[in-house]
């Protein structure tokens, strides 16, 4: 029996990026329906999010994600540009967010077209892999989309034409996260039980095993 898992995931989250190889591995190995649900980062979803955090927290995250990438054997580097527009000195988040809105809308469309997993894998590596400065320029995203089995130009056109519907779907994913009792990414939800973080994938697989998880 195919088991269904919702995957709440953000293009601005380094931990979401670090989870992508395991997500792809799970999809290939197990009889699972992994439903990718792209969401906006907390910095955009919650007003004043960074202002409420301990000032030491960002530096710890930087140290931790570099360490985790090394452990996983993944390339990693700060995104250039940052997917969200913010003043790093004041922590002020701009009202207009062209990068993360475009990425999240494209991710939603990719998921609807059954290419969500390869799309988040390829695009997040382009953004977070540390090897593509100016990921938003030239044909970087187009090549990432192509590797995921998609054509970026018509996808962008569809995102513009259906912006209101796509935005509603993303907001529905935010509401669903609230419903199951979590807020961060990546979060995996199985039978309304949330598993937060790339370090809880093994726990998720253990739970799935209790419900009859089988290999393909």
Which pLDDT belongs to residue 48? Answer: 65
> If you ran DSSP here, which 8-state letter would residue 53 be given?
S
Chain position carrying tokens 């400065």: 133
Which pLDDT belongs to residue 43? Answer: 84
Q: 3-210: which CATH architecture? A: 3-Layer(aba) Sandwich (3.40)
Q: Give me the percent of the chain exceeding a pLDDT of 70.
A: 97
Chain position carrying tokens 């089988």: 214
Measured CA distances, 56 to 59, 62, 73, 182 (Å)? 6, 10, 26, 23
This prediction has a pTM of: 0.95
* Banded pLDDT at 59 (limits 50, 70, 90): confident
CA atoms of 42 and 40, how far apart (whole Å): 7
Radius of gyration of the chain (CA): 17
Ramachandran angles phi, psi of 53, nearest 5°: -90, 150
The residues, ordered by sequence, that sit 6+ positions from 144 with a Cβ below 8 Å of its Cβ are 119, 122, 123, 125, 126
Cis bond upstream, residue 73 (ω within 30): no
DSSP string, 133-153: TTTTSTTHHHHHHHHTT--HH
CB count in 10 Å sphere of residue 153: 10
Asked whether the predicted pLDDT for residue 65 surpasses 80, the reply is yes
Residue 13's nearest CA partner among 184, 129, 148 is 184
CA atoms of 73 and 92, how far apart (whole Å): 33
Mean pLDDT over 98-120 rounds to 98
Please report, for the chain, the start and end positions of each structural domain, with discontinuous segments joined by +: 3-210
Report the mean per-residue pLDDT for the chain.
Answer: 95
Instruction: Give the dihedral sign, CA 206/212/210/173.
Output: positive
Q: Answer with the residue of higher pLDDT: 55 or 145.
A: 145
Q: What angle do CA 155, 158, 160 make, to 5 degrees?
A: 115
User: Among the residues of 50-139, which ranges form H helices?
Assistant: 57-72, 98-112, 116-128
């Amino acid at each position: 029996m195919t088991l269904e898992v919702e995957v709440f995931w953000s293009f601005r989250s380094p931990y979401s990026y670090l989870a992508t190889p395991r997500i792809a591995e799970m999809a290939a190995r197990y009889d699972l329906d992994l439903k990718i649900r792209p969401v906006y980062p907390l910095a955009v979803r919650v007003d004043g999010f960074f202002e409420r955090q301990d000032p030491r927290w960002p530096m710890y995250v930087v140290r931790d994600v570099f360490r985790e990438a090394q452990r996983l054997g993944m390339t990693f580097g700060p995104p250039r540009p940052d997917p969200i527009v913010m003043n790093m000195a004041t922590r002020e988040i701009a009202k207009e967010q062209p990068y993360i809105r475009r990425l999240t809308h494209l991710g939603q469309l990719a998921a609807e077209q059954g290419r969500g997993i390869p799309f988040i894998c390829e695009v997040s590596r382009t953004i977070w892999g540390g090897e593509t400065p100016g990921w938003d320029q030239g044909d970087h995203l187009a090549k990432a989309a192509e590797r995921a089995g998609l054509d970026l130009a018509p996808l962008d056109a569809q995102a513009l034409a259906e912006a209101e519907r796509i935005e509603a779907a993303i907001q529905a994913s935010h509401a669903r996260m609230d419903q199951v009792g979590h807020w961060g990414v990546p979060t995996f939800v199985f039978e309304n039980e949330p598993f937060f973080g790339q370090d809880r994938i093994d726990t998720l697989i253990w739970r799935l095993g209790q419900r009859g998880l089988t290999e393909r």
